[in-house]
Structure formats: C-alpha cells, structure tokens
Chain A
Amino acid sequence: MDVIITGLLLGGTYALIAMGLNLQYGMARIMNLANGEMLVAGGFVAFWLWTGSQISPLLTAFIVAPIAFLMNWLIYMVFLRPLVKRARSRGQLEVDSILTTFGLSFVAVGLMLALFGGDYFSYSYLSTPLNILGDTYGANRVAAFLAAVVICGLLWLWLSRSRTGMTIRAISVAPDSARLVGIDVRRTAALAFALGGAVTATGGTLISTFLTLDASTGVIFTLKALVIVIMGGVGDVRGTIVAALLLGLLETFVARLIDPGLTLAAAYLLFVVILLFRPQGLFGRPTT
C-alpha cells in the first residue's frame, strides 16, 4: 500500500514536469532537451533561498515561475525562432532544435557547475512524518504533490476554458488551420514555450524539497519527462497526468522490490514497450 501512495506522490510531481515539456513539445513544437536543466535551476533557487534566508520553497515557486517564464520566452525568441524561420521542413527544424537545446542544456550545466560547483545539494524542509492510511510519508512529498495537483488543475482549466488556452491547444492540433482563423501562431508558440519552462521550473522547486539534485542531473529528468509525454500522447494533458502517475508507481515498485539503481532502466523499458506497441501514446488515435 505504501508503495502505491509513494508512487502516486512521486508521479504527481512528475506530472508537473512533464506538463511543462508537453507544452513545449506538443504546443510550441520544440523538443526542448534543456528542459531538465530548467528544473534543476528551479531547485537551485529554492535551495539557495531556503538555506540563505529560510524562504519556504512553496513561496519560492511564485518567484521562480515568472523568472523562468521570462527566461524561456527569451530563449525561444533568441535561439529557437530563427530556427523555426529558416527551417524548410519539419525534419530540419527537429534536427536543429535537438542540437540547439542539447547545446543550451550543456551550457546551462556548465554555468551551474561554475556557479555552484558539482556537489549534490539538498536541504531539509517539512521533513516531518505524516500519517496516511497507517503508513508515514514525508510531509514535503505530500506538500509537493498537493501543490502539483493544484497547479496541474489550474493549468488544465486554463487550457480548456480560457481564450488563450484554447489558442494554444489549437496550434497544437492544427497549426495551419489555426493560422487561417487568425491566430498568431508564432506568438502563441513563444507563449506556450515560456509557460512550459515556467511549469517545469516550478516542478523543480517542488521536487527539490524531497529529492537530492546536482548540476548534472537535469538530463535524467528530461528523459523521464520525455517518456511521460510520449506515453501520455504528445499534446494530451490528461494522458500526461495518467502516464506520470504510472511512471511514479513503476519507479517506486522497481526501487523497492528490485534495486533503486534500476529506476531509469525501468522507465526506459516502459518507453520501449510504448514505442513498440502504442507509439501514438496511451490515449492517442493511430495516426495515418
């Protein structure tokens, strides 16, 4: 039982990170392989503010989100828009954006290494035990999970109800038709990209309350987020949440029952199975 709850708690935070990536890949059409570094940076800020001036990570999230939004918007405008402009085909844009975001990811790791060094960083926030259904869990995990649920919920509401949210979904489903009905696709894509970065960074702030991070762990989270996005279906919010919870459960099971060193291997196997049997995602329709 406690494995299931731990798994779900972890999966909730994963959902937030993967939502960020899905906004960037599904809506803005950029596979952002520097996504994990944004997460680590969000964690860094939380660590820094907590150890420096005892500011709660839950509050830090409100600082991190707008800064990350701005940074990602700038990244999109400076680095990615020129690529979108010059790309003659979807394939070329794909290759270019993969290389660029890899580059950005390495630059980010390099900068973080230079600024903070290569040490692991963790801090103790809300590490009091909390009793749920007879088992105890770290209060920080529960708090992070609840915050993730709230943010995911708000995001989902916003995407499905608000005008801007619907525009974003429109460009994900049919970018060409969206252009025809008067949507500024470029501006909307930049917005989706920036928002995705903000969501991921917030996820990093939350995850740093209970996981140990270091400057070079970003890529692992990028991989996990990618697995979730592909499993849930590109551009599919509901699928992302379900897939994130599944991955959280799977990792927790593997860590408890087999070996904690195999969590990424398990995520990878899951990815392979999805690719082989449902490349369109759990809820996706087969594409033609």
Chain B
Amino acid sequence: MSALLSLRGVTKRFGGLVAVNAMDFDVAEHQVLGLIGPNGSGKSTTLNLISGAFPVSSGSISLRGQPITQLPAQDITRRGIARTFQLVRLLPSMTVLDNVKAGAVFGHRRRWGREAETIAEAMLEKTGLSGRGHMMVGQLTYIDTKRVELARVLAGEPRVVLLDEWLAGLNPTELQEGIRLIRSLRDDGRTIILVEHVMDAIRSLCDRCVVMAAGTKIAEGTPTEVLSDATVIRAYLGDDDA
C-alpha cells in the first residue's frame, strides 16, 4: 500500500512557540484518516500546513511522492488537495451554484462553461442541496452553508479532501445527516483527512486515527486502538475536553 499523502518531520514554529512538532504520518488512497486531540494540540495547524495556508518551518509533505512542501495554497489545490474551513467561508455576493462552480472552475480538474455547471449541480445534489443553486448564500441555514462549502471542495474533484471540524456546531439531527454525508463520500472511495472532536463520528468514519497533543503525535492506529490507549486517555483527561 503506497501512501497518497505523506508528512515527514513537519514542524511549524510561530516565533518561539512550536505549534506542530515533527509530525510523521501517511494517508493511503481511499482511506479516511482522523486527526484528533485536545484543543490547541495542533490539528488545525497541521491541516493548514498541508493545504498551504501558511508555510512549513521544516520537514516535508508529499503527494504521490511529489514534494508539495513550499507550494502556495493555489498550487496545492490544483494538485488535488482541497479543504473546508473551520469557520465556514462562502462567497457572500454569489449564488449557491456559483460558490460551488468556483471549485469546479479552478480546482484540481479545471472545467468551464456548461461542463463546470454540470459538475457543480451534481455536487449540489450529492450534498443534499438540489434546487437551492439559485439562492444567495446569506439565506441558507448553518448546515446548508457547510454543505455548500463541501460541495465547492468536491467540485474540483480533489484527490484528498481536508475537513476542518466540518461537523462542529451541528445539532443532533444535523449531526447524523452530516455523518451520513461523509460516510457516503467514504463509500465513493474518497481520501479524506478529518479534524474532528465528535467521537461518534471518528469511530464510525475513520479507518485510522492520528492523535496529537501539544503539537506532537502521541498515538496512531485504528479508532478502537487509539481510543483505549493510555497515553491518549491521559492527554484527553489532562484537558477539559474529555
């Protein structure tokens, strides 16, 4: 099993603070990897480093063996890694359809015109937004804004999807819908990295988990393995998150 995405010794320093310290992990194709850990453990920063939101201080990231470490965000997206944001970011002056089209036109597979519209509509349907393409994003409910963002990511047909706490803030019913949606992506054979707090979701969605605490990887394995690991339990109990 060869890795689709690998991180080797990836480190990020902000001034004197080491936010991410020597992270190593691989993601294989069609795998769903959960990146978990207490608040402030560096999960989102790791995602930001992979997506090129800010530069890596040291270490290397590669996609199918090709180094992508110092590439700007747009090149990383073009090579096939697309992300959602922790706080949903949509394009306020545009319709839902145009928001999704943005991903189709400029993402990994670049399409234009009728072709872009077709795929954007398909992604709206996939995420449960059919018939809402003409709406302005300001009129949407919270979960629908999250769906639009996901649809935008998918419309570029990325090789790796990064979801940054995509399930956070949803009410219990929405949460079940959300988990079902991500599971359907998994069933489609998508490769996904999931930064998540919701344990249910992690158990039911992830093939493997990487656990972070204070910027370092403290455990790796299947969800059942890592969630019974003594170090992991201690890391969580040390935090108020447990």
| Chains A and B come from one and the same complex | yes
Binding site for B on A (CB under 8 A): 285, 288
Point out the residues of chain B lying under 8 angstroms from A285, CB to CB: 15
Nearest to A288 among chain B residues (CB) is: B54
Q: Does B55 contact A (CB under 8 A)?
A: yes
Point out the residues of chain B lying under 8 angstroms from A288, CB to CB: 14, 54-55
A132 and B55 alpha carbons, distance in the complex (Å): 51
Near A by CB (< 8 A), chain B positions 1-38 give: 14-15
Q: Interface on chain A toward B: helix, strand, loop, or mixed SS?
A: loop
Nearest to B12 among chain A residues (CB) is: A288
A288 and B55 alpha carbons, distance in the complex (Å): 8
* Across the A-B interface, the 4 shortest Cβ-Cβ residue pairs: A288-B54, A285-B15, A288-B14, A288-B55
Tally of A-B Cβ pairs under 8 angstroms: 4
CB distance from B114 to the nearest CB of A (A): 33
A288 and B12 alpha carbons, distance in the complex (Å): 11
A288 and B15 alpha carbons, distance in the complex (Å): 10
Point out the residues of chain A lying under 8 angstroms from B15, CB to CB: 285
Nearest to B53 among chain A residues (CB) is: A288
- What are 4 of the A-B contact pairs (CB < 8 Å)? A285-B15, A288-B14, A288-B54, A288-B55
0 or 1 for each of B49-65: is its CB under 8 Å from A? (1 = yes): 00000110000000000
CB distance from A145 to the nearest CB of B (A): 36
Near A by CB (< 8 A), chain B positions 47-89 give: 54-55
CB distance from A263 to the nearest CB of B (A): 37
Nearest to A285 among chain B residues (CB) is: B15
A285 and B14 alpha carbons, distance in the complex (Å): 10
A285 and B57 alpha carbons, distance in the complex (Å): 14
A285 and B13 alpha carbons, distance in the complex (Å): 12
Nearest to B92 among chain A residues (CB) is: A88
Point out the residues of chain A lying under 8 angstroms from B54, CB to CB: 288
Nearest to B14 among chain A residues (CB) is: A288
CB distance from B83 to the nearest CB of A (A): 17
0 or 1 for each of B164-180: is its CB under 8 Å from A? (1 = yes): 00000000000000000
Point out the residues of chain A lying under 8 angstroms from B14, CB to CB: 288
CB distance from B22 to the nearest CB of A (A): 19
Nearest to A287 among chain B residues (CB) is: B54
A285 and B55 alpha carbons, distance in the complex (Å): 14
Nearest to B57 among chain A residues (CB) is: A288
Nearest to B48 among chain A residues (CB) is: A288
A243 and B54 alpha carbons, distance in the complex (Å): 29
Nearest to A88 among chain B residues (CB) is: B92
A235 and B54 alpha carbons, distance in the complex (Å): 23
CB distance from B72 to the nearest CB of A (A): 13
Near A by CB (< 8 A), chain B positions 167-198 give: none
Point out the residues of chain A lying under 8 angstroms from B55, CB to CB: 288
CB distance from B55 to the nearest CB of A (A): 7
CB distance from B15 to the nearest CB of A (A): 6
A288 and B54 alpha carbons, distance in the complex (Å): 6
CB distance from B239 to the nearest CB of A (A): 21
CB distance from B85 to the nearest CB of A (A): 15
A187 and B25 alpha carbons, distance in the complex (Å): 49
A285 and B54 alpha carbons, distance in the complex (Å): 15
A134 and B14 alpha carbons, distance in the complex (Å): 50
CB distance from A235 to the nearest CB of B (A): 16
A2 and B54 alpha carbons, distance in the complex (Å): 47
CB distance from A114 to the nearest CB of B (A): 42
CB distance from B98 to the nearest CB of A (A): 20
A285 and B15 alpha carbons, distance in the complex (Å): 8
CB distance from A95 to the nearest CB of B (A): 15
CB distance from B51 to the nearest CB of A (A): 14
A288 and B48 alpha carbons, distance in the complex (Å): 11
CB distance from A86 to the nearest CB of B (A): 15
CB distance from B221 to the nearest CB of A (A): 32
